[in-house]
Amino acid sequence: MKPSSAPIDAPARAPADERVAAAWRALCAVEDPEIPALGIVDLGIVRCVEIGADDVLRVGLSPTYSGCPATDVIRRAVEQALGDAGAGRFVVTTMLAPPWTSDWITPEGRDKLAAYGIVPPPNTVSAARQLLADDRPVACPRCQSADTECVSQFGSTPCKALHRCRACLEPFEAFKCI
């Protein structure tokens, strides 16, 4: 296996800003394995990309849910992407605090979720909503009716709840506020 493009240490000699920017570009291309419509940067789980005094590029990832099976897959995909992009020496760390919140999903991420048929979480302070168990109905992504009900707080992945539209009778998923 020989590197087909530039020598592996070339980007390491690039200016620090360019190295960080290149890392961000590489990370933007990494998809969430369970919601391929969404990139991990859209999801807001990339918390930092920085170069330390030791010239090592540090990438901090914040897992969405403690038990999300995608976490390990994402980590490997990130390492692969950084390696392919020739990011030089790097280390990927898990950042638990502050805990990830659905508020960190970017506006672009919310648009992509909606286009994919998953209702994005309300763009407000999730913690307060969750604390108050705010269960106001979400509009159906297919017919826009507000006459919907939550069938289960737990959908096909930990981050989504299962809803049903009473108007068009279709089931749909909504991203949970957390």
Does 136 bind another protein (CB under 8 A)? Our answer is no
Q: Return d(Cα 74, Cα 20) in angstroms, integer.
A: 19
Give me the least distance between CB of 171 and another protein, in Å please: 10
Does 169 bind another protein (CB under 8 A)? Our answer is no
Q: Which of 16, 152, 166, 167 binds another protein (CB under 8 A)?
A: 152
Q: Return d(Cα 124, Cα 47) in angstroms, integer.
A: 19
Site residues (CB under 8 A) for another protein, limited to 82-101: 96-101
Site residues (CB under 8 A) for another protein, limited to 29-88: 63, 65-69
Does 151 bind another protein (CB under 8 A)? Our answer is yes
Q: Which residues contact 118 (CB under 8 A, 6 or more apart)?
A: 35, 37, 141, 160, 172, 173, 174, 175
How would you label 148-170 residue by residue, b for 16+ Cβ within 10 Å and e otherwise?
beeeeeebebbbbbbbebeeeee
Q: Return d(Cα 87, Cα 158) in angstroms, integer.
A: 32
Does 131 bind another protein (CB under 8 A)? Our answer is yes
Site residues (CB under 8 A) for another protein, limited to 99-128: 99-101, 127
Q: Which of 50, 154, 166, 167 binds another protein (CB under 8 A)?
A: 154
Q: Under a CB-based contact definition with an 8 Å cutoff, are residues 103 and 120 in contact?
A: no
The tokens of 34 are what?
A: 């369970």
Of the ranges 1-9, 19-27, 51-59, 150-158, which one interacts with another protein (CB under 8 A)? 150-158
Cβ proximity to another protein, 115 vs 154, nearer residue: 154
Does 130 bind another protein (CB under 8 A)? Our answer is yes
Q: Return d(Cα 26, Cα 81) in angstroms, integer.
A: 6
**Residues near another protein, by CB under 8 A:** 63, 65-69, 96-101, 127, 130-131, 133, 151-156, 158, 162, 176, 178
